[in-house]
Structure 1
Amino acid sequence: MEIDKNQLLRFTTAGSVDDGKSTLIGRLLFDSKSIFEDQIEAIENSSKKKGLEGLDLAMFTDGLKDEREQGITIDVAYRYFTTPKRKFIIADTPGHIQYTRNMVTGASTANAALILIDARHGVIEQTKRHTFIASLLQIPHIVVCVNKMDLVDYSEEVFEKIVHQFEGFSSKLYVKDIQFLPISALNGDNVVERSTNMDWYQGAPLLHALETMHIGSDVNKIDARFPVQTVLRPQREGFIDYRGYAGRVASGIFRAGDNVVVLPSGFSSKIKTIDTMDGELEQAFAPMSISITLEDDIDISRGDMIVKENNQPRAVQEFDAMLCWFHNATASPRAKYTIMHASNEQKAIIKEVVYKIDINTFARDEEDKELKMNDIVRIRLRTTRPLMIDEYRDNRVTGSFVLVDDATHETVAAGMIV
């Protein structure tokens, strides 16, 4: 199977504090020669100041001063690197429970999640929590990296025991594809190069797994959804009568000549042209940014959605969603928020908190209805006007939203429609 060299893979790391997430990313970047010499020099100097013999690989991702001083990851650190086979964006997310919201943010657009487990400790509460969030966010691929194998004498028995532990609880969650890898991020075993210390492991190293991961089918190619971001009226020579509807294809495929419907108005038309900066296209698919022109002159504005006649999202004012609360302050009962869904903005209220999830045990708590920071809950929302929605598991773009506090303009929550 040939991999598109321009294909971008986004992956996130998750694990408990000191499981070696930042060290693993540092090792990936260092061994795949994705770090500039001056960066290496700076890290060498910092490592010497700390009294370390070698490079402190974790420093390659810890961008905040507090992170470097405390040796922990607080914020989501994004790193970009490329190999001859693929481009990558890494979201290095914190392991602490109080940063659950940061993990949700970093993982929301990921194709894959690397979940790190310390070989000495096995599956712990944090492992379950992070796997639950990855499952909630419908991340298609999970790679379980059993790290620090050097500290358990590269034991196959220890690795197999952890695989068994993990499979025991993950079978209850919705996860499509799980791989297991025994690694030592510190020594580089099975990260970029195959380990000579673990001949019993026949699989490929981590970088190879990431380079060859099939992500083409992760995007929904069936449900055609085009949220309109803006209307283009150039009003210049050659484009005097041009009226294009610009945005990014959320899912599905659009072709010139397709019969389409504009929601929420329900007016139908036919696609005349699909335009890009580089010229006209016969077809467009997610996640391309395009401009669509229609055969008919229809009143369309930002927030409307162009869809196929025979495949439409639900237009609703009330729906259920799983919500992760981001804000320090608790949610006020029936407080008004601005909901931002695709390119649409409406006013909304949280009508009801149905239940809260204990992310350590996955149990539902129907008694405690107060929304506190990092809580994950099922809620019922009501909006002032209909939104064109899909379920999050079918479409991560039209199935997700954020809530913004009207008074402070802060993002207070992210939601996934169920």
Structure 2
Amino acid sequence: MSTTTSEVLSETTLLRFATAGSVDDGKSTLVGRLLHDSKSVLTDQLEAVERASASRGQDAPDLALLTDGLRAEREQGITIDVAYRYFATPRRRFILADTPGHVQYTRNMVTGASTAELTVILIDARNGVVEQTRRHAALAALLRVPHVVLAVNKMDLVDYAEPVFAAIAEEFTAYATELGVPEVTAIPISALAGDNVVEPSANMDWYGGPTVLEHLETVPVTHDLSHCHARLPVQYVIRPQTAEHPDYRGYAGQIAAGSFRVGEQITVLPSGRSTKIAGIDLLGEPVDVAWTTQSVTILLEDDIDISRGDLLVPSKDAPPTTQDIEATVCHVADAPLTVGHRVLLKHGTRTVKAIVKDIPSRLTLDDLSLHPHPGQLVANDIGRVKIRTAEPLPVDSYSDSRRTGSFILIDPNDGTTLTAGMVGESFASPEPVKDEAEDDGWDF
């Protein structure tokens, strides 16, 4: 019996990865080359790119246009939003997030890399490591991305010189190691010419490592949430009240981490009440066990007051609840985040009132020094914050679970997302000072 393409793909692993780098380092060209040379571009897509390139007076197709899909992006020749692309090879399936390079779009990189298992950071071989490179490396470290690929691009413009590549790789690897990045793989490439993207380069016989695609196909997917502490944020309470199921009461949501099994003792947080799982429904069918990313409905043996925002966890592995959260954040809003700021904190499916009690430090990316007690964080700043919530929350450390160890801060006036936070993640920060914000009814 022959094996179909869908059967092959069902047996391959999925890798989520993001690209990052400074403006004009060639991210979109690399992505376009990767899609084109791996035969992942449809004929009509390629024809559209050829027409668009010809209309701009270019002799060859501009592969960057495969990802720069917005009109404003094509007019400016830059990426201004996260472009997601899905493609596959016989060895692996991929979800790719092409993120912007401008410093004012660093917040977009947080979005693109927050679920990535690997980040490709591009560097222009002519410019070497720059501030935005350090910013992206710091974000990769904070977001706990387990694998980083350093793609030293435009090697054709430095005569494919090995010393240029070696110096950049050494500087970046030393910086990333200091940040705590666990693994860096450096690859010299020319995205425009295709050197070491999909096929090995004949111009760099001194390099004996993998191409970009070869590394993407073989790197182990180590950030497997199925082995994390089991967590299910309740999204919806289901009570159909039909004649067939008059007493049906289920708690629906997507499993954020780990697995759940029928008969398992669980605890509902933040109330702390315990019971056992009586049943698990998956796509309308009963199952004995369910795991990470599956959307399920949990049925319980006892009647417990549970609503949207509660968290179901194994009783033997319940996280502590707290109203005091310490975290490292990337501020994404144009308006600054200040000490005493009244916000909404969204954790999983739960949203509560909160106050920014202190901003102990802001990270200076040039030398990784900490600016103590800056008083505020502005757009794209990375800093340490202390937050007090109106209600206790069951939070994990981000290093244990990226899903239940993360949160966002929201402006209660207009719903704007202000800040993305990672619980417990920290560059060493100085001692906090006492909050002296005025009492306006939000103190908890």
Structure 1-normalised TM-score? 0.95
Task: Say if 2:27 and 2:122, in contact at 8 Å, map to a contact too.
Answer: yes
Deviations 1:75-115 (A, max 9, x none): 21222222233222211111121211111122111111000
- Distance in structure 2 (CA, Å) of the matches to 1:215 and 1:395: 15
Structure 1 position 16, deviation (Å): 1.0
What is the letter of the counterpart of residue 213 of structure 1?
Answer: V
Equivalent position to 1:321, from 327, 344, 352: 327
Cα pair 2:360 2:373 within 8 Å, conserved? no
Matches within 5 A, 1:44-83: 44-83=50-89
Are the equivalent residues in 2 in contact too, given 1:221–1:285 (CA < 8 A)?
no
Cα shift at 1:335: 2.9
Deviations 1:37-80 (A, max 9, x none): 22211211221122221111111111222211111111212222
Following the alignment from structure 2 to structure 1, what is the Cα–Cα distance between the partners of residues 151 and 338? Answer: 40
| Inter-partner Cα distance in structure 1 for 2:397 and 2:378 | 25
Matched letter for residue 39 of structure 1: Q
1:360 alignment partner in structure 2: 366
Query: Are 1:126 and 1:360, in contact at CA under 8 Å, matched by a contact in 2?
Result: no
Residue 181 (structure 1) aligns with: 187
Q: For residue 8 of structure 1, what is the amino acid of its counterpart?
A: L
Rounded to whole Å, the distance in 1 between the matches of 2:346 and 2:186 is: 37
Contact 1:3–1:212 (Cα < 8 Å) also in 2: no
Between the aligned partners of 2:147 and 2:9, the Cα distance in structure 1 is 16
Evaluate the alpha carbon distance shift between residue 165 and residue 286 of structure 1 in structure 2; reply closer, same or farther with a 3 A threshold.
Answer: same
- 1:144 corresponding residue in structure 2: 150
2:298 counterpart letter in structure 1: I
Distance of 1:405 and 1:220 partners within structure 2? 33
Cα deviation per residue 1:196-250 (whole Å; 9 max; x = unaligned)? Answer: 2223322222112112222154326141111111111122243322211111111
Matches within 5 A, 1:11-410: 11-219=17-225, 221-277=227-283, 279-410=285-416
Cα distance in 2 for residues equivalent to 1:411 and 1:93: 18
CA distance, structure 2, for counterparts of residue 202 and residue 275 of structure 1: 51
1:232/1:7 CA distance change after superposition, 3 Å: farther
**SS of equivalent residue, structure 2 residue 227:** coil
Q: Which runs of 5+ in 2 are unaligned?
A: 1-7, 425-444
CA distance 1:120–1:4, change in 2 (3 Å): farther
Measure how far apart 1:116 and its partner are: 0.5
CA contact (8 A) 2:146 2:223 kept: no
Q: Which moved more, 1:220-229 or 1:314-323?
A: 220-229
The letter of the residue matching 2:58 is L
Structure 2 distance, partners of 1:217, 1:3, is 20
Is contact 2:226-2:291 (8 Å) kept? Answer: no
Aligned pairs, number? 417
Q: 1 CA distance for matches of 2:346 and 2:220?
A: 31
Q: Is the 8 A contact 1:356 1:369 kept in 2?
A: no
Give the aligned residue type for 1:121. Answer: N
The 2-side partners of 1:327 and 1:228 are apart by 28
For the 8 Å contact 2:226–2:259, the answer to whether it is kept is: no
Percentage of matched positions with identical amino acids = 51
CA distance in 2, matches of 1:99, 1:217: 26
CA contact (8 A) 1:339 1:347 kept: yes
What SS does structure 2 have at the residue aligned with 1:273? strand
TM-superposed CA distance for 1:367, in Å, is 4.3
What is the match of residue 4 of structure 2?
none
Task: Give the distance between the partners of 2:399 and 2:69, measured in 1 at CA.
Answer: 33
Distance 2:388 2:419 in 1: 15
Q: Secondary structure at the match of 1:247?
A: strand
Task: State the partner residue of 2:441.
Answer: none
Q: Deviations over 1:226-284 (max 9, x none)?
A: 11111111222433222111111111221112111111111111112221106222222
Q: String of CA shifts for 1:158-194, please: whole Å, max 9, x gaps.
A: 2222221112212211212221111111111111222
CA contact (8 A) 1:228 1:245 kept: yes
Q: CA deviation at 1:378?
A: 0.6
Q: TM-score, normalised by structure 2?
A: 0.90
What letter corresponds to residue 232 of structure 1 in structure 2? I
Counterpart contact for 2:338–2:375, Cα < 8 Å: no
- The corresponding residue for 2:434 is none
Aligned Cα RMSD in Å?
Answer: 1.8
CA shift at 1:332, angstroms? Answer: 4.8
Measure how far apart 1:6 and its partner are. Answer: 5.3
Residue 331 of structure 1: how far off its partner (Å): 2.8
Q: Which runs of 5+ in 1 are unaligned?
A: none
CA pair 164-255 structure 1, distance change in 2 beyond 3 A = same
SS of the residue corresponding to residue 337 of structure 1 reads: strand
Instruction: State the Cα distance separating 1:122 from its structure 2 match.
Output: 2.1
Deviation at 1:400, TM superposition (A): 0.6
Shift of 1:12: 0.9
